[in-house]
Structure 1
Amino acid sequence: MEPTGTDVTGLIARSSPAVRRRDAETLTALMQEISGREPATWGTIIGFGSCHYRYPTGTEGDTGLLAFAPRKASTTIYLLDGTDAHAEALAQLGPHTTGVSCVYIKDLEQIDLDVLRGILQRSLAWAESGGTDEVQIEVTS
């Protein structure tokens, strides 16, 4: 996937319900602060920085170093190092659900933003260090 160049502000403005817009504005500021990178759209995903990932199986692609998507049902936060790497912190986060590499949040005001900040900082540091033998990460911006 590559950045699509869609206006980030416009993507956020088109998000619904209203709680997604509010949460998207908060996450944009938080991820920009943590990453030191400007937001860019990757389809309907808002990403910060970019990287190329490669698995030993040969699967590879490009994505944001930190990223989220304001989906209708919940906001999806993508973690390159997966949710298992953050199990202890996620237990302290507040109401959410998870997938292999996604955290789903329905209302950011109900979660602990300091815990989320720590998760995002650790995930970014992991990606910037090159990942692991299981997932190799090359930062491209």
Structure 2
Amino acid sequence: MEEITNFISRIENETRKSDSFALLPFLERVSGYKPYLSGSIIGFGKYHYKYDSGREGDSAVISFSPRKQNLVVYIMPGFDKIEGLLQELGKHKLGKSCLYINKLSDIKLDVLEKIAKLSVQYMQQKYRCKNA
């Protein structure tokens, strides 16, 4: 945990830093997994994937990264089945599995919690997930 705290402490943008310190226990509680640092990504839980191509590896069940431009929460199943929740969330942008948030005060945390829980539940049903 000290490694993660040191990583977040080095973030220059004060809002991004405080939002990261808030997301850390939030995602730990919501996911039920302990956090770990992988490069610039803070992950919670792990699962093993294997594609039809034969490529395989391990990835986080849910994670976030405090980037210079925004916070990115990685919602692994994507967003196809949660469009209604996204409309309630507040100001955000989407990538394939990336939820881009400028600052936590732009969104409704209770809606983010629902999105995160659904994502974790989906991953747990599809994969054997475990703590890192």
TM-score by length of 1: 0.86
Cα displacement (A) at 1:77: 0.4
Whether the 8 Å CA contact 1:68–1:76 is kept in 2: the answer is yes
Alignment correspondent of 1:138: 128
Counterpart of 2:69 (choices 68, 73, 77) is 73
Q: For 1:94 and 1:16, locate their aligned partners in 2 and report how far apart those are by CA, in whole Å.
A: 25
Q: For 1:63 and 1:33, locate their aligned partners in 2 and report how far apart those are by CA, in whole Å.
A: 19
Which digits, 9 at most, give the CA deviation of each residue in 1:35-92, with x for residues without a partner? 2222100111001111112333434321111100000100000011012232221111
Dislocated runs of 4+, deviation >6 Å: none
Q: For 2:23 and 2:31, locate their aligned partners in 1 and report how far apart those are by CA, in whole Å.
A: 12
Are 1:8 and 2:37 matched, yes or no? no
State the percentage of identical aligned residues. 35
Whether the 8 Å CA contact 1:48–1:66 is kept in 2: the answer is yes
What are structure 1's unaligned runs of at least 5 residues? 131-136
Count the aligned residue pairs.
Answer: 131
- Calculate the aligned-residue CA RMSD, in Å: 1.6
Counterpart of 2:40 (choices 23, 44, 47) is 44
Whether the 8 Å CA contact 1:54–1:61 is kept in 2: the answer is yes
More helix by share: 2
